[in-house]
Amino acid sequence: MKIIAATCAGISLLLLGGCLSARPVATNRPPVTEPEPGRARQPVWRGLHLLINGDADIVILQEQLPRLAAAGVNTLILEVGYNFVFSSHPELNAATGVTAARAHRLAAAARQAGIRLIPELDCLGHQSWSKKTMALLAKHPEFDETPGFFPDNAGIYCRSWCPQHPGVNAVVFDLIDELAQAFEADAFHVGMDEVFLIASDHCPRCRGGDPARLFARAVNDLHGHIVGQRHLEMLMWGDRLLDAAALNGGEWEYAKNGTAGAVDLIPKDIVICDWHYEKQAAYPSVPLLLGKGFRVWPSGWQPLENAQAFSAYCRRQQNAHVVGFLSTVWGKTTMDRIADWPPVAEVLAAWK
């Protein structure tokens, strides 16, 4: 998770043939663009990224929606991952995961509060954490980029799935469809951050491949399903698109493993969540991504002054393709106190 980057650097349904769901999806999603003459500019995205571990978190979050709305929050990224009770792939179910019924109730309450919900499933990377391998590779080890290697995940940061395995996308797309349906979402966040295992010598399909092209393949496959087939908006973290050498950055917020060239190989309608947690005089990734044609959602964490510095820099860009600001939490406060998270009052408020 991005929290590790800060610690290390600073201290780091089934695939439906027709429509996705009979339930209505939210309609408050138009992207921020330069307004046409006589038309008002679309509202900025004032967001919070939250880790969701199960129904208990959803219950508390629903209680907090009025306070979050009063504080100006209008978008929530819900990183649910495999903490969900899937009907399409019950082998991946979490025992105390989010149920579709509870997600639907949250969606109804969020619409009433004027808050957009965007679920997230970490794709490609982040398929393990410490000694724990996440559900997909635990149940389908054939999808692993490094099958049979690194017992107990020793010596690696996080496992990845193989972007060229012929069976992985069908499963992942099922999971995405279920999460999007359950939260009645009009957008989906695919993660894609901190992918270090790619083009591995241990993968019979990817060995010797170009990391940028392999990363772009994974992004484009996801885009083809999420945007092309399901007509949802797609978001992703931006660190693997940033060349560490060119931008003078570290291996967490920027890429040192050859994936950065993917920035020119993926669709420009993807919203890039560009996260930076260190205080800098300038953040060159923002104008770079804007210059490539992407909409950028700058994302900060803590300490507060670092998030404020990043927010102020992005506001000075005066570019409507900077869609707003996203505050990440990474477990530093409890769900019942998220409306009191300092960036909500001190950073997001500046974007009203």
Backbone angles phi, psi at 300, to 5 degrees: -125, 170
| pLDDT mean over 222-230 | 98
List Cβ neighbours of 270 (8 Å cut-off, separation of 6 or more).
219, 223, 234, 235, 236, 294
List % helix, strand, coil for the chain (3-state, nearest 5): 40, 15, 45
Q: Which two tokens stand for residue 8?
A: 């290390």
Q: So what's the pLDDT on residue 19?
A: 33
What residues does 255 pair with on adjacent strands?
243
Q: So what's the pLDDT on residue 38?
A: 32
**% of the chain beyond a pLDDT of 70:** 88
Provide the pairing of β-strand 132-133 with 187-191: unpaired
Backbone angles phi, psi at 124, to 5 degrees: 70, -70
Q: Is 47 left (phi over 0), alpha (psi -120 to 50) or beta?
A: beta
| pLDDT mean over 83-94 | 96
Rounded Cα gap, residues 60 and 62, in angstroms:
5
Whether this prediction's pTM lies above 0.85 is answered by: yes
Domain 120-273 fold: TIM Barrel (3.20.20)
User: What size, in residues, is the chain?
Assistant: 352
Question: What tens digit of pLDDT does each residue of 55-66 get?
Answer: 999 999 999 999
Question: What tens digit of pLDDT does each residue of 166-191 get?
Answer: 999 999 999 999 999 999 999 999 99
| pLDDT mean over 82-104 | 95
Rounded Cα gap, residues 334 and 9, in angstroms:
24
Angle, CA 95 vertex, CA 89 and CA 98 arms, to 5°: 75
Bond prior to 303 in cis (omega within 30° of 0)? yes
Q: So what's the pLDDT on residue 289?
A: 98
Q: So what's the pLDDT on residue 17?
A: 33
| pLDDT mean over 154-158 | 94
Nearest Cα to Cα of residue 90 among 191, 182, 171, 173: 171
Nearest Cα to Cα of residue 215 among 228, 196, 232: 196
Render the burial of 228-263: b for 16+ CB within 10 Å, e for the rest. Answer: eebebbbbbbbbbbbbbeeeebebbbbbebbbbbbb
Q: In what order do the strands lie in the sheet with 116-123?
A: 295-296, 271-273, 233-237, 187-191, 116-123, 75-79, 45-51, 324-328, 299-300
Task: Sketch the domain layout of the chain as residue ranges.
Answer: 120-273, 275-352
